[in-house]
Chains A and B, each alone.
Chain A
Amino acid sequence: MPHFLEELDRLNMKVMQMVVQTEQALSKTVTAFSRLDADLAQQVVDNDEKINELEVQVYELCLKLLALEQPVARDLRFILGCLRMSTNLERIGDESANIADATIYLSLNPPMEFYDKILLMGQKSYDMLQEAIIAFSSPDVDKAVHVCRMDFEVDELNSLVLKEIIQYMSKESKSIEPCVQTINIARRFERIADMATNIAETTMFIVKGISLKHICQFDDRI
């Protein structure tokens, strides 16, 4: 195999490692939240470092390839896509760690009634991430489009949850702090869903060569 292809393969594997780490982090976060399991949440927080480290490696590899090999066409798009992927994955890792932090705090309080909806948000964002990753590694454009569509559901859930929590807070002023944490968690899950959408868009960029930033939210044609 030529050197360049070997390097591309190495980049792909690095990104996939990052993907796996991030996926596990989010999965653990969702599980930790559903059980309010502080130990599991702590694992996520501890593991975030690895994801950050991988991001640095991916970033360096991308820069090296761009500078030394002067790739064109699909290879170039793949490298740029990997750059975007790694940024998004790292952000997802960070958000997971933040949610895990909040979960550790919430585990000290009794569960509240709107946790179910937030859990559902978490599960949906996890589903989206999984789909987006499969779309990326296949690569499969149809799946990527599907991910974009799923984003609506999470957005809707987020606004629903927000309303509910605000109502709850107006009644029970004692539990404002856990409520704010919960709002944070909901918003973070929503952000994760957005970033999964970004990953899906990156896949479309790599495969089709068209930049589709935010398009699938407005455009029904794709």
Chain B
Amino acid sequence: MKNRYSLKIKLIFSFWLVLIMALVIPSYYFINTVEDEIKKETIKSVSDRMAFLIWGLSTQEYEDLRELDAAIRDIGQESQDRITVISTQGVVLVDSMVAFDNLDLVENHGSREEFLKALQDGQGYSVRQSRTVDRHLIYYARNLELDPFGTVILRMATPYAVMDSFFKRVSTGLWQMMLLSLLFTGLLVFIIVRILTKKLQPMVSLAQAIGHGNYQKRITESPGREFDPLVDAINEMAGNIQSNIEVVSSQKMELQTILNGIRDSLVALDNTGRIMSFNKSFEDTFIHYNHFFGKRPLEVFHSNELQVYCEEVISSDLVRNKSLGITFKDRHYDVNIVSPEDRGRIGAILVFRDITDIRRLESVRKDFVANASHELRTPLTSIKGYTETLLENRELFENKGKEFLEIINKNTNNMIRLLDDILQLSRIESDPEKIVVRKIALGPVIEKSWKECCHYIQDRDISFNFRLDEICSEAMGEPEYLGHVFQNLFENSIKFTPDKGQIEVLCVLKGDMIHIGVRDNGPGIPREEQSRVFERFYRVKKFKNKVRGTGLGLSICRNIIRSMGGQIWVESPVTGTNQGCIIWFSLRSAA
């Protein structure tokens, strides 16, 4: 709401109006009264003088008009009055201001107001502008018997000058006074308004500060008692806003904490289908983006279906809930799209549940049973086959008995090794507390493990080197179990590394964890199988029939490393190259 006129202008005009009213009405009254009084006074003095004049005139004898003229001029010289003698017909007989010879030129005075009154009532007067002299004059006329002229009208004209100058003085004075007071009030109003606005300024700026979110501020002084209610109202409003804001923000914090605590990713879309807000889990899961705000689901999740569903849920009044599965960056999500009952700013909420692990676990369980029974059954079948043959065929027993028994023995050893592995695995799994970590030197552990694996190399040319920096020469671990880990990793590397291969132990310090990697330049692990190699009995398909193994090695490693508080993962192919593989695992640093 904008005011077209400022308070200053409004105040000035109203002051001026009041002032003009206050000045004009009394002046009018005053002037009128004074004018009346002066008029009365003047007329009285004129009539007095007239009495003298009549007495003066009637004491003399006149032969003719010329003598009367001389007498009038005599008297007229003494005063400024103009004396005229008029016949009852209105003809000017003599005039003290007009030469006797020129009287013919003077017009008939029969129609003059004072003359008519005098003729009628014996005396009369009138005030008017004289045509001969440019002044206000009072004409006073009286009936008179004058010998030898009979009845004549004697008229005396005296200037009304007193009145003229008086009014002139008074009115200029009045005007000046009025102008002066108008100027003065203007200035006064300007100053008053100035002071008022100055006093109001803190209030204004405070209200603005409150509007900008500075709710702690309060108005302490009021520009005047009249403003006290306003000040109180503003302070109360600020207090209410502050407490409300505090409540709202604490509720928001609570809600945010709850939302951030949820493992599922939550995203809120506004009513145009753009991302409005999201929780922490979402931010962590989809870190590939720098800024999600204002993006559409299609841009972030690269799924047409999701976009279409979102649009449907946001725009439709019937469909309030939809769910679908999407795959993004090798992970599977179950997405539930919900639209709130009352669509204000929020158009829809997307809930992402990561079901990758659930799916994987399902297939792991399925595979485990199949694999375990297969791995156990294969050697048993072979043992059973050979034993039965030997039992039934005596001739064969004598000829090839030793050979067959060696095969049986080999398979039995295989089974024992497999069962050993399984036992070790279940021991670690059932009692991870048994592994007590302490500060150990890594160098000797690695060397010892390598020595125990050397015999796998046979006649191939494989170079081994490890270089531990000062910072990661020690770590928190358990030497015997860590030895198992290294042995398993070295065994794998040796198995898969071609002739003239290289095996290397790498080490980097990342925060308070030491990352140790065993690198080889073998064929690597296909990407889609990388997440599965740590499963029990899982073996890379390509090498399943070429390279011997139980498929439990890495699984054991993972269990050991986990109970030492670390992680294990695969990098293949080695970053920046197109081959090889690094099995990384982390241990807490000793420092």
Is B523 a contact of A116 with CB atoms below 8 Å?
yes
Whole-angstrom distance between the Cβ of B524 and the nearest chain A Cβ: 8
Whole-angstrom distance between the Cβ of B579 and the nearest chain A Cβ: 9
Is B304 a contact of A20 with CB atoms below 8 Å?
yes
CA distance A133 to B299 in the complex (A): 9
Question: A13 — which chain B residues lie within 8 A by C-beta?
Answer: 296, 298
A to B contact number (C-beta, < 8 Å): 44
Is A74 part of the contact surface with B, judged by Cβ < 8 Å? no
Question: A16 — which chain B residues lie within 8 A by C-beta?
Answer: 296, 298-299, 302
A123 nearest in chain B by CB position: B527
Interface size on B, residues (CB 8 A): 22
Among A17, A130, A134, the one with the most B-chain Cβ atoms within 10 Å of its Cβ is A134
Is A137 part of the contact surface with B, judged by Cβ < 8 Å? yes
CA distance A222 to B577 in the complex (A): 22
Is A125 part of the contact surface with B, judged by Cβ < 8 Å? no
Q: Is the interface of B mostly helix, strand, loop or mixed?
A: loop
Question: A34 — which chain B residues lie within 8 A by C-beta?
Answer: 526, 528
CA distance A17 to B300 in the complex (A): 12
Given known A-B contacts A116-B523, A120-B573, A138-B289, A133 and B302 have beta carbons under 8 A apart: yes
Is B526 a contact of A119 with CB atoms below 8 Å?
yes
CA distance A133 to B298 in the complex (A): 12
CA distance A157 to B304 in the complex (A): 33
Is B578 a contact of A157 with CB atoms below 8 Å?
yes
CA distance A119 to B526 in the complex (A): 9
Is B304 a contact of A17 with CB atoms below 8 Å?
yes
Is A108 part of the contact surface with B, judged by Cβ < 8 Å? no
CA distance A13 to B302 in the complex (A): 11
> A142-169, CB under 8 A of B: which get 1 and which 0?
0000000000010011001000000000
Is A101 part of the contact surface with B, judged by Cβ < 8 Å? no
Is B89 part of the contact surface with A, judged by Cβ < 8 Å? no
Q: Which of B256-314 contact A (CB under 8 A)?
A: 288-291, 295-296, 298-300, 302-304
> B322-340, CB under 8 A of A: which get 1 and which 0?
0000000100000000000
Is A20 a contact of B302 with CB atoms below 8 Å?
yes
Question: B573 — which chain A residues lie within 8 A by C-beta?
Answer: 120
Is B229 part of the contact surface with A, judged by Cβ < 8 Å? no
Question: B526 — which chain A residues lie within 8 A by C-beta?
Answer: 34, 116, 119
Is A32 part of the contact surface with B, judged by Cβ < 8 Å? no
CA distance A123 to B528 in the complex (A): 10
Q: Which of B538-591 contact A (CB under 8 A)?
A: 542, 573, 576-578
Is A23 part of the contact surface with B, judged by Cβ < 8 Å? yes
Is A97 part of the contact surface with B, judged by Cβ < 8 Å? no
Is A117 part of the contact surface with B, judged by Cβ < 8 Å? yes
Is B298 a contact of A20 with CB atoms below 8 Å?
yes
CA distance A64 to B578 in the complex (A): 45
Question: A157 — which chain B residues lie within 8 A by C-beta?
Answer: 578
Is B304 a contact of A21 with CB atoms below 8 Å?
yes
Whole-angstrom distance between the Cβ of A74 and the nearest chain B Cβ: 16
CA distance A13 to B304 in the complex (A): 10
Given known A-B contacts A13-B296, A130-B329, A23 and B576 have beta carbons under 8 A apart: no
Q: Which of A80-130 contact B (CB under 8 A)?
A: 116-117, 119-120, 123, 130
> A45-85, CB under 8 A of B: which get 1 and which 0?
00000000000000000000000000000000000000000
Q: Which of A21-57 contact B (CB under 8 A)?
A: 21, 23, 34
Whole-angstrom distance between the Cβ of B211 and the nearest chain A Cβ: 28
Whole-angstrom distance between the Cβ of A154 and the nearest chain B Cβ: 9
CA distance A175 to B395 in the complex (A): 48
Question: B296 — which chain A residues lie within 8 A by C-beta?
Answer: 13, 16
Q: Which of A17, A20, A117 contacts B578 (CB 8 A)?
A: A117
Is B578 a contact of A153 with CB atoms below 8 Å?
yes
Is B523 a contact of A23 with CB atoms below 8 Å?
no
A21 nearest in chain B by CB position: B304
Question: B528 — which chain A residues lie within 8 A by C-beta?
Answer: 34
Is A120 a contact of B298 with CB atoms below 8 Å?
no
Question: A120 — which chain B residues lie within 8 A by C-beta?
Answer: 527, 573, 578
Is A23 a contact of B290 with CB atoms below 8 Å?
no
A161 nearest in chain B by CB position: B578
Question: A23 — which chain B residues lie within 8 A by C-beta?
Answer: 302
Whole-angstrom distance between the Cβ of A6 and the nearest chain B Cβ: 11
Question: B304 — which chain A residues lie within 8 A by C-beta?
Answer: 17, 20-21
A136 nearest in chain B by CB position: B299
Given known A-B contacts A119-B526, A160-B578, A17 and B290 have beta carbons under 8 A apart: no
B289 nearest in chain A by CB position: A138
Whole-angstrom distance between the Cβ of A59 and the nearest chain B Cβ: 20
CA distance A119 to B542 in the complex (A): 14
CA distance A130 to B578 in the complex (A): 19
A117 nearest in chain B by CB position: B578
Is A11 part of the contact surface with B, judged by Cβ < 8 Å? no
Question: A20 — which chain B residues lie within 8 A by C-beta?
Answer: 298, 302-304
Whole-angstrom distance between the Cβ of A185 and the nearest chain B Cβ: 16
Among A21, A119, A120, the one with the most B-chain Cβ atoms within 10 Å of its Cβ is A120
Question: A140 — which chain B residues lie within 8 A by C-beta?
Answer: 290
Is A137 a contact of B578 with CB atoms below 8 Å?
no
Question: A116 — which chain B residues lie within 8 A by C-beta?
Answer: 523, 526, 542
Among A17, A19, A138, the one with the most B-chain Cβ atoms within 10 Å of its Cβ is A138
Is B302 a contact of A138 with CB atoms below 8 Å?
no
B575 nearest in chain A by CB position: A153
Question: B577 — which chain A residues lie within 8 A by C-beta?
Answer: 153
Is B298 a contact of A17 with CB atoms below 8 Å?
yes
Whole-angstrom distance between the Cβ of A118 and the nearest chain B Cβ: 11
Is B290 a contact of A156 with CB atoms below 8 Å?
no
A156 nearest in chain B by CB position: B578
CA distance A112 to B288 in the complex (A): 36
Q: Which of B15-70 contact A (CB under 8 A)?
A: none
Is B527 a contact of A153 with CB atoms below 8 Å?
no
Is A134 a contact of B578 with CB atoms below 8 Å?
no
Question: B523 — which chain A residues lie within 8 A by C-beta?
Answer: 116
Question: B289 — which chain A residues lie within 8 A by C-beta?
Answer: 134, 138
Question: B295 — which chain A residues lie within 8 A by C-beta?
Answer: 137
CA distance A130 to B329 in the complex (A): 9
- Please name the 8 residue pairs, one residue from A and one from B, whose CB atoms are nearest each other, closest first: A137-B299, A16-B298, A20-B302, A157-B578, A20-B304, A134-B288, A16-B299, A138-B290
18 extra interchain contacts, Cβ-Cβ under 8 A, other than A20-B303, A23-B302, A153-B578? Answer: A13-B296, A13-B298, A16-B298, A17-B298, A17-B304, A19-B302, A20-B302, A21-B304, A117-B578, A120-B527, A120-B578, A123-B527, A137-B299, A137-B300, A138-B289, A140-B290, A153-B576, A156-B578
Which chain B residues have a beta carbon within 8 Å of chain A's beta carbons? 288-291, 295-296, 298-300, 302-304, 329, 523, 526-528, 542, 573, 576-578
Which chain A residues have a beta carbon within 8 Å of chain B's beta carbons? 12-13, 16-17, 19-21, 23, 34, 116-117, 119-120, 123, 130, 133-134, 137-138, 140, 153, 156-157, 160
26 A-B Cβ contacts within 8 A? A16-B298, A16-B302, A17-B298, A19-B302, A20-B298, A20-B302, A20-B303, A23-B302, A34-B528, A116-B526, A116-B542, A120-B527, A120-B573, A120-B578, A133-B302, A134-B288, A134-B289, A137-B299, A137-B300, A138-B289, A138-B290, A140-B290, A153-B576, A153-B578, A156-B578, A160-B578
